[in-house]
Amino acid sequence: MILKNKIVLLLLICSFNVSNANIVLAKSIDIEDNKAISKIDGKQVFYFGKKIKKDKKAIVVNKVMNYDASLGYGFDFNSESNVKLNSKSFNIEAPTYFSVKVPEGNYQVTVTFGSKTKSTTTTIKAESRRLFLDQQVLKKGETTTKVFNVNVRTSKIDEKSQIQLKDRDLGQLNWDEKLTLEFLGTVEIKSISITPITNVKTVYLAGDSTVTDQDLEPWASWGQFITNYFDQNVVVANYAVSGATLRSFKASLRLKKVLSIIKPGDYLIVEFAHNDEKEKGEGIGPWDSYSASIREYVQAARDKGAIPILITPVQRRAFNADGTLKPTHGDYPDAMRKVAQEMNVPLVDITKLTTTLYESWGDEPSRKAFVQYPANTFPGQKEKLEDNTHFNSFGANEIALCVMKGLRDLNSPLAQYFLKEVPQYNPNQPNAFAKWTLPMSNRFEIVKPDGN
């Protein structure tokens, strides 16, 4: 049982035979002591189960508990009712969250899962729905371990400044004091470890709503799906935000934050235009403010020893009568291409790749990649959703695959960190929505993200 800051753990002190019965003595252990010994070099290890013996290097979770900030861990978002605690694991059949209080930084997460009694299908997301494991199937009796890297951040830059977060950012998992893991499917978890890491290559993303980690279903962006395709040498730090322009991203101090922590050898990937093209005024436009801002971002990254990569904007879903796509971005893609050529910056032409992608699907099938759903598909949704800019999870994953294709075609050093089992992607032969089975998270928002 839990009483404020104490948890009763079974500690095997001695075992002896009396009338053929094993007697186990128990001792009450202060949770603060238990946590202290588990945080060797900041590492936190959690074992789950009713019959797990005390481990001096781990926290034993032998009761289902809500997240408690004073303890620093627990099941979150009222999902504890989904959890069944077994002798040496817990299992779920509905989306379940487990959160751990950690400081800002990069973390290697290790999750061991599988069941002795049944087959399992495990999906793992972290923070604001960043995908790290897509429906791994294990047979009865099989156990495996997944290792991946998660970036945890705060808005603080230094003692005098911090990122200017929007109101809708404040409740997002990306901006709280925790590292949150989301488990979906028929899942059985045995242990979780969270280890601070510093010697990892960081890929920083600067962009708008088509790039950012969308916190709530059914919205999604490529930045939260490309995480599923990198190996353990890379962590993605996605600072993109809905509604952003190059200038507003800088004005809200997101660029300053990135530059305060980026290291030599890290990457800064920049994709803007959807909202920049709506700015008005003298000196505003693709060949003026937009091009000047791109140059500033590129030079700022290089001054820090980092490697800039430019990405032209993803296309909107806007078809001509003949089945070709309308170019809705004007001169902005050309302006970015020109800066990339002038400054010798690697450029992924997602505008061209997504033109091919959407036209390969065709007008009607391409709807399945965007947030287009009939009324009452989601809780509280009284009207149909018909968005031609923002992706659902299927579309966001396809865009992530396009980004990877672009990096591979460039022979970018980043491509060496893609998981070896990830196949080559051809936007002329895109995946079909009918084969997309990733389970949805159970947190929804009907209001569309900022920007268009």
Q: Residues with catalytic annotation?
A: 209, 386, 390
> Whole-angstrom Cα distance, residue 434 to residue 280?
42
Q: Do residues 99 and 126 lie in contact, with contact meaning Cβ atoms separated by under 8 Å?
A: no
CB 220 within 8 A of CB 392: yes
Residues 103, 238, 241: CA angle, nearest 5 degrees? 110
Spatial strand order of the sheet with 2-3 comes to 2-3, 6-9, 27-30
Closest to 274 in 3D by CA, of 221, 225, 202: 221
What is the rounded distance in angstroms from the CA atom of residue 425 to the CA atom of residue 304? Answer: 33
Torsional class of 114: left (φ above 0), alpha (ψ -120 to 50), beta (otherwise): left
Q: Are 219 and 445 in contact (CB under 8 A)?
A: yes
Specify which residues 149 forms β-bridges with. Answer: 108
